[in-house]
């Protein structure tokens, strides 16, 4: 679909932003004298943009970094803007793959997923410390291996008593 709509040669697009703008996926910031008046995307129904939006909507249930990105944007801006934002990210990825003549490399995405997982874990640790909790590693017993995996274990001190709480999937 990309080759039929945009062609095999992307030399008409100096950068990924130009490609996304051509697809009407890039925000058109209307700036006044000192403030942004509007951040809407331009109107238009490009067939490739429609296909990318449809692909972006399927990311809702994906466990990849793009799926995480879509869910974050959906929680922040709503489903319509999240779909456009994820389609914009997909278009930038396609532009990079075509111009660099490289195939999609899942190991790069896996590295990004690991980095995102570490960032999320550090954020949860900071939040737990802020409310008086301490995260400690969970000791897995052989008898618990057939149950639902436990993600985080923390101990909360309340009235000089240790209360153990574990979060399950």
Q: Is 86 found in the same domain as 72?
A: yes
Q: Say how far apart CA 64 and CA 85 lie, in whole Å.
A: 16
- Residue-number span of the structural domain to which 134 is assigned: 107-168
Instruction: Report yes or no: 23 and 10 within 8 Å, Cβ to Cβ.
Output: no
Domain boundary at 81, 104, 127, which? 104
Q: What does the pLDDT read at residue 142?
A: 62
Q: What does the pLDDT read at residue 117?
A: 83
Q: What does the pLDDT read at residue 78?
A: 92
Residue 121 has a CB neighbour count (10 Å cut-off) of: 13
Would the pLDDT of 119 be above 50? yes
Q: Is 26 found in the same domain as 80?
A: yes
Q: For the residues 141-161, what does the mean pLDDT come to?
A: 50
Residue 143 has a CB neighbour count (10 Å cut-off) of: 7
Q: What does the pLDDT read at residue 22?
A: 82
Q: Is 80 found in the same domain as 141?
A: no
**What pTM value is reported for the model?**
0.61
pLDDT band at 168 (very low <50, low <70, confident <90, very high): very low
Residue 82 has a CB neighbour count (10 Å cut-off) of: 22
Domain boundary at 52, 84, 104, which? 104
Would the pLDDT of 109 be above 60? yes
Q: Is 67 found in the same domain as 111?
A: no
The total number of structural domains that make up the chain = 2
Contacts of 50 (CB under 8 A, 6+ apart): none
Domain boundary at 104, 130, 158, which? 104
């Amino acid at each position: 679909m990309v080759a039929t709509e945009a062609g095999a040669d992307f030399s008409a697009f100096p950068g990924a932003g130009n490609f996304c703008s051509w697809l009407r996926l890039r925000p058109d910031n209307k700036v006044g004298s000192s403030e942004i008046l509007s951040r809407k995307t331009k109107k238009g129904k490009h067939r490739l943009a429609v296909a990318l939006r449809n692909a972006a909507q399927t990311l809702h249930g994906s466990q990849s970094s793009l799926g995480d990105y879509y869910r974050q944007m959906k929680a922040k801006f709503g489903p319509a803007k999240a779909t456009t934002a994820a389609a914009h990210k997909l278009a930038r990825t396609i532009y990079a793959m075509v111009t660099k003549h490289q195939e999609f490399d899942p190991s790069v995405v896996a590295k990004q997923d690991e980095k995102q997982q570490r960032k999320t874990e550090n954020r949860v640790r900071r939040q737990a410390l802020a409310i008086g909790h301490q995260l400690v590693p969970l000791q897995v017993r052989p008898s618990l291996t057939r149950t639902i995996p436990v993600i985080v274990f923390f101990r909360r001190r309340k009235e000089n008593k240790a209360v153990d709480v574990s979060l399950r999937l």
